[in-house]
């Protein structure tokens, strides 16, 4: 995540830890470790770390010095069914996420994950780029074997979009407006939430006469 190899685990009391993947002793991956008794134990020499990254046990050392050993850890908070991680400086930490969907009951949320092997800024740019979506993500035939935006849909059939941007206190929202012919338009809206993410509905499009 953001160029760092991390592991996440839930300890025996339910707390979540997000740590640098490798034990500082011999750089063995803690992904292979044993999750036990309020910590994760390295399988190589048995050093164990709690959710804060503090070493709390050294079963191979005749004179343990665990209090002097830490592995990098990151602040996390569970909210809205998601574990949120803050990887910046402690004095710059923002309030926890408070989007409308994070306040909904579990019965009204559907959380998915997308793995994108690219820089986060590339993912953000693609997410708010309405121009590329019906080109890159369109289906290439009427009944494709792979998913894609239907060729018969207004998103694909519309002309090149005209953008309307509205600044907000959290970033901006904008709308891609595509002419469909016959006085009809296809409108798709997006939100940019500073500094790092974007939101858009599964289908925010409407067709109307101008």
Tell me, yes or no, whether 88 lies in a domain: no
Enclosing domain of residue 23? 6-73
Tell me, yes or no, whether 157 lies in a domain: yes
Residue 121, helix vs strand vs coil:
helix
Most confident listed range (22-31, 153-162, 200-209): 22-31
Q: How many domains does the chain have?
A: 2
* Long-range CB contact pairs, 5-11, < 8 A, 24+: 6/74, 7/31, 7/33, 7/40, 8/76, 8/83, 9/35, 9/40, 9/51, 10/35, 11/35, 11/38, 11/39, 11/40, 11/50, 11/51
Tell me, yes or no, whether 89 lies in a domain: no
pLDDT of residue 210: 38
pLDDT tens-digit series, residues 107-150 = 998 888 888 888 888 988 988 899 998 999 888 888 778 888 88
In this structure, of 15-19, 83-87, 107-111, 200-204, the range with the lowest mean pLDDT score is 200-204
Domain identity same for 126 and 204 = yes
Q: Which residue has the tokens 């369109």?
A: 138
Q: Looking at 51, 73, 95, which one is the last position of a domain?
A: 73
Domain identity same for 125 and 61 = no
Q: Cα angle at 162 between 159 and 167, to 5 degrees?
A: 150
Domain identity same for 199 and 141 = yes
Task: Residue 21: give its domain's CATH number.
Answer: 2.102.10.10
pLDDT of residue 171: 93
Tell me, yes or no, whether 111 lies in a domain: no
CB 52 within 8 Å of CB 42:
no
Sequence-separated (6 or more) residues with CB below 8 Å from residue 78: 16, 84
Domain identity same for 128 and 203 = yes
Tell me, yes or no, whether 193 lies in a domain: yes
Domain identity same for 44 and 125 = no
pLDDT of residue 205: 40
Tell me, yes or no, whether 146 lies in a domain: yes
Name the pairing type of β-strands 6-10 and 171-181: unpaired
pLDDT of residue 202: 57
Domain identity same for 136 and 203 = yes
Residues linked to residue 51 through DSSP beta bridges, in sequence order = none
pLDDT tens-digit series, residues 193-203 = 888 888 876 55
**Distance (Å, whole) CA 160 – CA 180:** 10
pTM of the model: 0.71
């Amino acid at each position: 995540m953001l160029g760092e190899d991390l592991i996440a685990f839930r300890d025996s009391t339910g707390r979540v830890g997000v740590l640098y993947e490798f034990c500082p002793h011999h750089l063995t991956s803690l992904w292979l470790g044993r999750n036990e008794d309020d910590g994760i134990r390295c399988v190589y020499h048995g050093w164990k770390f709690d959710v804060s990254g503090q070493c709390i046990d050294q079963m191979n050392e005749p004179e343990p010095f665990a209090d002097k050993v830490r592995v990098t850890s990151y602040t996390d908070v569970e909210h809205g069914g998601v574990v949120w991680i803050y990887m910046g400086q402690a004095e710059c930490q923002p309030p926890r996420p408070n989007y409308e969907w994070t306040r909904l009951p579990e019965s009204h949320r559907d959380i998915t994950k997308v793995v994108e092997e690219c820089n986060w800024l590339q993912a953000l740019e693609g997410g708010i780029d309405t121009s590329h979506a019906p080109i890159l993500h369109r289906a290439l035939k009427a009944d494709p074997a792979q998913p894609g935006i239907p060729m018969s849909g207004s998103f694909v059939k519309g002309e090149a979009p005209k953008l309307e941007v509205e600044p907000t206190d959290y970033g901006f929202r904008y709308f891609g407006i595509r002419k469909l012919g016959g006085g009809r338009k296809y409108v798709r809206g997006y939100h940019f939430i500073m500094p790092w993410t974007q939101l858009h509905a599964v289908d925010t499009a409407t067709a109307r006469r101008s």
